Amino acid sequence: MTPQPPPSALPPPLLDVRDVTVFRGDRLVLDGVSLSLFSGDAMILTGPNGAGKSTLLRTISGLRKPDGGTVERQTELAWLGHQDALKPGLTLTQNLALAAKLGTGHMHEVLETLDLTFLADLPARLLSSGQKRRAAFARVMLSGAPLWLLDEPTVGLDVASIERLGAIMAEHRAKGGAMIVTTHVPLPLENTRSHELPSLANAEPLWLS
Ligand SMILES: Nc1ncnc2c1ncn2[C@@H]1O[C@H](COP(=O)(O)OP(=O)(O)OP(=O)(O)O)[C@@H](O)[C@H]1O
């Protein structure tokens, strides 16, 4: 007979970050950061400019390796960086075509949800900065990934768009997704957890032994 887990056993976290240390140049930016993320979680990553929020998200995403510690995840992720990464001469739909092909989201649905349908055939160079940010976020939705790493998703967004983003995030969590979000403005999200990164900017340069 297959042994069953005890009824009280918690499911494993979608993401488990243990004692992560990262240097940039000769500076220690992340010093032993640990956090876990479970299905339905929304974690707000806070800290002053330069505290290492983007560095942590890039490390979790696998874009850079930690100098110490481990990052374990049980699921696919989608990462939204500072750059919107849209090709100016391609239309919005053309820009999103690859993400739609590789992911499980539906282009029509995602454009509608983000109020981008009326811009679908416009070259990206003609989009406003807030529209570009929404377009970049469309890639995250198109991926269908359960784990979202969102680096300042609200930059350039108006109040209505921030409200819409909050609703999208809440729906993602309700479906079992999870996210880490860096932001310098309050988000319309309930029951969030927060993780504050201290600024190590004034620390003496250190070297790995
Ligand atoms: N390529 C690089 N080489 C060396 N140092 C870097 C590099 N990129 C970033 N840094 C440094 O790493 C530190 C953390 O930067 P990071 O962008 O992760 O901070 P942040 O908390 O996201 O800041 P912000 O709130 O301004 O977006 C900063 O001191 C920055 O100067």
Residue 10 forms part of a structural domain: no
Label residue 3 by pLDDT band (50, 70, 90): low
Residue 172 forms part of a structural domain: yes
**Reported ipTM:** 0.94
Residue 171 forms part of a structural domain: yes
| Percent of the chain predicted with pLDDT > 70 | 91
Residue 96 forms part of a structural domain: yes
| Backbone φ, ψ for residue 86 (5° rounding) | -110, 135
Report the amino acid identity of residue 191.
Answer: N
Residue 8 forms part of a structural domain: no
Whether residue 168 has pLDDT greater than 90 = yes
Ligand 1 contacts CB of residue 81 (under 6 A): no
Overall number of domains in the chain: 1
Domain at 127, CATH number: 3.40.50.300
Ligand 1 contacts CB of residue 183 (under 6 A): no
Residue 208 forms part of a structural domain: no
CA 55–ligand 1 middle distance (angstroms): 7
- 185: Cα within 13 Å, side-chain hemisphere: 13
Ligand 1 test: best mutation among 26, 44, 55, 152, most atoms within 8 Å of CB?
55
User: Which ligand 1 atom sits nearest the alpha carbon of residue 27?
Assistant: 5
Sign of CA dihedral 92, 95, 100, 103: negative
Ligand 1 contacts CB of residue 23 (under 6 A): no
Q: Which domain holds residue 21?
A: 15-196
pLDDT of res. 96 = 97
Ligand 1 contacts CB of residue 134 (under 6 A): no
Ligand 1 contacts CB of residue 201 (under 6 A): yes
Give dist(CA 29, CA 200) in Å, integer: 6
Residue 204 forms part of a structural domain: no
Residue 7 forms part of a structural domain: no
Mean pLDDT of 2-18: 78
CA 123–ligand 1 middle distance (angstroms): 32
| Backbone φ, ψ for residue 109 (5° rounding) | -65, -45
* pLDDT tens by residue, 34-84: 999 999 999 999 999 999 999 999 999 999 999 999 999 999 999 999 999
CA 97–ligand 1 middle distance (angstroms): 31
